[in-house]
Amino acid sequence: MNRKFYDYAGVVHFHSNYSYDGNVSIDEIVNAAKGAGLDFIMLTDHFRLDAKKDGHEGWHGNILLIVGEEISPRYNHYLAFNIKEPIVTKRYENKPQEYIDEVNNQGGFGIIAHPDHEGTELFGVKPFPWIDWSVKGYTAISIWDLQTDWQDKLKGYPSAILNYFFSSYRLLGPREVTLKRWDELNRNKRVTGIGEIDNHNAKRRFLGLNFYIFNFRYAFKTIRTHILTEKPFSKNRKEDTDIIYQAIKEGRVYVAHEYWNDAKGFLFTVGDDDSEAGIGGEFILRNKPAFIKVNLPIHGLIKIIHNGEKICETPNIVCSLEIKEKGVYRGEVYQKIFGKYRPWIYSNHIKVK
- What is the predicted pLDDT for the residue at 1? 52
Compute the C-alpha angle 292/273/250, nearest 5°.
55
Tell me how far apart the 2 most distant CA atoms of the chain are, in Å. Answer: 68
Domain stop point among 257, 278, 302: 257
Q: Which residues contact 142 (CB under 8 A, 6 or more apart)?
A: 12, 13, 111, 112, 113, 114, 115, 193, 194, 195, 196
CA distance 306 to 330: 7
Residue 20 DSSP class: T
Whether 315 contacts 294, CB under 8 Å: no
Please choose, from the candidates 301, 293, 302, the residue with its C-alpha nearest in 3D space to the C-alpha of residue 320: 293
Residue-wise pLDDT for 240-296, tens only, equals: 999 999 999 999 999 999 999 999 999 999 999 999 999 999 999 999 999 999 999
pTM for the full model? 0.96
pLDDT at 2: 59
Concatenate the DSSP letters of all residues of 44-82 into one string: EEET--HHHHTT--EEETTEEEEEEEEE-SSS--EEEES
Based on the fold, state whether residues 200 and 242 are members of the same structural domain. yes
Residue 42: closest CA among 226, 233, 262: 226
Q: Are strands 202-206 and 78-81 parallel, antiparallel or unpaired?
A: unpaired
- What is the domain count for the chain? 2
Give the CA count within 13 Å in the CB-facing half-sphere of 67. 25
Q: What are phi and psi of 147, to 5 degrees?
A: -70, -40
How many other CB atoms sit within 10 Å of the CB of residue 222?
23
Asked whether residue 174 falls in the same domain as residue 192, the answer is yes
The parent domain of residue 188 ranges over: 6-257
pLDDT (tens, 9 = 90+) of the chain, 353 residues, equals 557 899 999 999 999 999 999 999 999 999 999 999 999 999 999 999 999 999 999 999 999 999 999 999 999 999 999 999 999 999 888 899 999 999 999 999 999 999 999 998 877 789 999 999 999 999 999 999 999 999 988 878 788 888 888 999 999 999 999 999 999 999 999 999 999 999 999 877 766 777 788 999 999 999 999 999 999 999 999 999 999 999 999 999 999 999 999 999 999 999 999 999 999 999 999 999 999 999 999 999 999 999 999 999 999 999 999 999 999 999 999 999 999 999 999 999 999 99
The CATH number of the domain holding residue 190 is 3.20.20.140
Q: Give the CATH number of the domain where residue 323 resides.
A: 2.60.40.10
Residue 129, in any domain of the structure? yes
Residue 112 domain-assigned?
yes
Q: Which sign does the torsion angle of CA 43, 109, 280, 58 carry?
A: negative
Boundary-marking domain end, from 257, 285, 310: 257
Q: How many Å apart are CA 151 and CA 124, to the nearest integer?
A: 11
Among 204, 236, 257, identify where a domain stops.
Answer: 257
CA-based torsion, 20, 21, 27, 33: positive or negative: negative
| 274 within some domain | yes
Residue 186 covered by a domain: yes
